[in-house]
Structure 1
Amino acid sequence: GTTSDFNKVTVSLELVLIEMPYTNEDYLPSYEELTVPELPVTSSVLRASAHHLGKYCDDVCKEFMLCRDEENDPRKCINEGKEVTRCGFEFYRKIKKSCFAEFNQYFQCIDFSGSEMDLKNCRKTQATFDNCVKQNLGQDRPEFGYFAKVRLHKTERPRPVPKPHILPERLPDPPDLNQKTDPIKNPNSF
């Protein structure tokens, strides 16, 4: 009932350790394989370009996500992940080459539109940027809800072989309660 009792909190945690044994035969990628340059963009640049970048790299991103989901092992999808990064660099190179001024106006408008980076304050610069992307990259801005739609992806990757399902051992049969037992031989039964 006192405040000192109130401040004492006892938490019991059960520590579960999962040991994953690795052997010399297990493949672990080297640092060189894992090291890929990152896209050096700010949040306002990413927000301004997200719709067009997503559509431009749509197939590459789907391939990566499919690999990640099917393989359930990130080591097997390193090349697909690198391809996503390469596609991002390619997209920004094309934007810099053909729509640099329009893009700068748009992302700076978003940058200065408040802490939420609302797009609603920048519709004029967005339209200018969208027109430039259409003229130079031949890509329309995706309609609202485009990325939420179910879109099938055709892949050349072979389907992974499913792991065999190992069933647990069969449980023993329950005791037969209709069987009469001798209370002298088995004192624990009624």
Structure 2
Amino acid sequence: MVLTAEVDLPQFSTLTVPEVNLSTSTLMSAAPYLGKHCESINNEFMLCRQETNDPRSCLELGKRVTACTLQLFKNMKKACLHEFKQYANCIDKSSGDYGFRHCRKTQAVLDCCMKDKLGLERPHVGHFCRGRVHKSSCAPPRPPPCPCQPIVPDPTPSLPDSKPRYPPRLGSRFYFMTE
């Protein structure tokens, strides 16, 4: 990335936040709860990054995402530490590819603990694949379109009506499919 004198970079002190230093199996075991618990602030952050195309404008939202993640892990540590450790250990040790299939019993125990003590239910399987519209209250206004790129209508006309084709001279190439 090329920088000029006009680019205002943030101070290094504003970039320091406490990091979430956890293993892969720990993050994988908490991922459904983390995704659902911090969904709104994460959507705000991703919307800011996508629309402004400038990471400097989204630093505060990024800090809020990290704070939400840390808060969830603190709550899980207070309420369901033993169950969470068992599930993360099972994911880590049961297969070489961090598979979930061997750990369904410990997952069920963690799900019950999270529901009873923290009020967080595990989202259903297709929850994160579902299309949703996120209404943002703090997203910056959309930048105006760049004047250097004119908006050109689509010059491709629609396809003409296709003519009927004659049957092939030597028969179909897919003769083996009709047997």
Measured against the shorter chain, the TM-score band is 0.7 to 0.9
Residue 160 of structure 1, CA deviation:
2.7
Instruction: Write the distance in 2 (CA, Å) between the matches of 1:104 and 1:21.
Output: 46
Instruction: Write the distance in 2 (CA, Å) between the matches of 1:150 and 1:90.
Output: 27
Instruction: Write the distance in 1 (CA, Å) between the matches of 2:16 and 2:85.
Output: 29
Please list, as runs of the form range in 1=range in 2, the aligned pairs for 1:101-180 lying within 5 A after superposition.
101-157=82-138, 158-167=140-149
Instruction: Write the distance in 1 (CA, Å) between the matches of 2:43 and 2:70.
Output: 17
Residues 167 and 151 from structure 1, CA distance in 2 versus in 1: closer, same or farther, beyond 3 angstroms?
A: closer
Residue 162 of structure 1, CA deviation:
1.8
Deviations 1:83-112 (A, max 9, x none): 110000000000000011110111111111
Residue 58 of structure 1, CA deviation:
0.5
Q: Match of 2:102, SS?
A: helix
Residue type matched to 2:148 in 1? I
Residues 165 and 110 from structure 1, CA distance in 2 versus in 1: closer, same or farther, beyond 3 angstroms?
A: same
Answer yes or no: is the 8 Å Cα contact 2:20–2:70 preserved in 1: yes
Residue 164 of structure 1, CA deviation:
3.5
**Residue 85 (structure 1) aligned with residue 70 (structure 2):** no
Instruction: Write the distance in 2 (CA, Å) between the matches of 1:21 and 1:79.
Output: 22
* Matching residue of 1:29: 10
Instruction: Write the distance in 2 (CA, Å) between the matches of 1:147 and 1:167.
Output: 35
Residue type matched to 1:131 in 2? C
Residue type matched to 1:50 in 2? A
Q: May I ask how many residue pairs the two structures share in their alignment?
A: 149
In terms of mean alpha carbon deviation, does 80-89 or 147-156 score higher?
147-156
Instruction: Write the distance in 1 (CA, Å) between the matches of 2:125 and 2:2.
Output: 44
Instruction: Write the distance in 1 (CA, Å) between the matches of 2:118 and 2:49.
Output: 29
Deviations 1:106-156 (A, max 9, x none): 111111112101111000100010111111221210111211111221211
Structure 1 spans left out of the alignment, 5+ residues = 1-18, 169-190
- Structure 1 outlier segments of 4+, above 6 Å: none
Instruction: Write the distance in 2 (CA, Å) between the matches of 1:163 and 1:22.
Output: 23
Instruction: Write the distance in 2 (CA, Å) between the matches of 1:160 and 1:148.
Output: 26
Residue 165 of structure 1, CA deviation:
2.0
RMSD after superposition: 1.6
Deviations 1:54-79 (A, max 9, x none): 11110111010000000000111111
Which has more radius of gyration?
1
Residue type matched to 1:164 in 2? C
Residues 163 and 49 from structure 1, CA distance in 2 versus in 1: closer, same or farther, beyond 3 angstroms?
A: same
Percent identical: 43
Instruction: Write the distance in 2 (CA, Å) between the matches of 1:89 and 1:73.
Output: 25
* Matching residue of 1:42: 23
* Matching residue of 1:59: 40
